Amino acid sequence: MKQRMISRCFFLTCVFLFLTISISIIAYSNEIIPLTDAHMIDFERCEIIAEKITDSYGNDYNENVMRFDAGWNGFASFDLDGAYARITGAFVAADDTSSDAELNAAIFVDGVQCFSMSRYTKQQPKQEFDIDLSGACRLDIKTSNAYESNGKSLYLVETKFEKSGEVLPFTEWYSLRNTVLIDSHSYEATKSLGVDSYGELHNGSLRFDASHDSYALFNLNKQYHSFSASLAPGNDTSSDIKMDITIYCDDNVVFSEQGITRLDPKMAINLDVTDVGVLRVETDAEYDGNYDAYLYIYDDILK
């Protein structure tokens, strides 16, 4: 009898410990982190605000609100390091947003677009998102306005991160903007939300002025294996222009396209850059000087 009681006590103790540990694990894995406590590593023209805002539908938001100046391409970037499971939230327009404002927003996880909205106006209800962050390194939230001007604000509300129960393996996220720029001419890299001639949204851009025979040399230093990106004319490219692009890996031509116009949709670039020291991009245009011949490399990822 005594042995039975001991066995029963031992069994109940094990069950209690199992339930306690299980509950603790579940509680930890579902730990909610407000946007205001996340690790923001880069930002421009955005701010976390404490005062109450009212959206165009009359809904009030009192905390955990981030304002983006979409008129000037506000953005925020967060370091995840494999520690988060998901992010939820919504975009809204404030009650004082201009009636002519047409706002863009996109969310990228490790350079891949996971949410986008184009030409959002105050007449539309809030736009909610729920994004898986498992094993992710970086999160970028970027905005713009269809007609660039000041005072076009977009608000991020009800945004929360869910922490993982454990840190998952992740791959560092890199782009050509992370490399050393050896030399360039009529070239500019931007972190802000990019918009191509078809209105598609992109995670930053590498802008080449083909009318001035632009080029850029990037030092890969034999540190990467693959390079992927999208190539497209920008929404600031003239209609009657034809552009060429050539990409070299250590003086070897690995990609070439001629006669690109504003009417051409984006095209994919996928290159093997194993043991490549220098990546060189050259562009030119059929006409010089009087035309806007802007060719963009978008969403570039180095691995």
pLDDT, tens digit (0-9, with 9 covering 90-100), for 73-104: 999 999 999 999 999 999 999 888 888 889 99
9 has pLDDT over 80: no
Range from 45-54, 56-65, 149-158, 267-276 carrying the lowest mean pLDDT: 149-158
Read off the tokens for 252: 């070897």
Domains delineated in the chain: 32-163 (2.60.120.1060), 176-302 (2.60.120.1060)
Residue 10: strand, helix, or coil: helix
What is each CA distance from 281 to 51, 119, 262, 296, in whole angstroms?
Answer: 47, 32, 19, 11
pLDDT value, residue 8: 55
Counting Cα atoms < 13 Å in the Cβ hemisphere of 6 gives 3
Contact residues for 38 (Cβ-Cβ < 8 A; gap 6+)? 78, 161
Read off the tokens for 278: 């220098």
Whether the CB-CB separation of 193 and 71 falls below 8 Å is answered with no
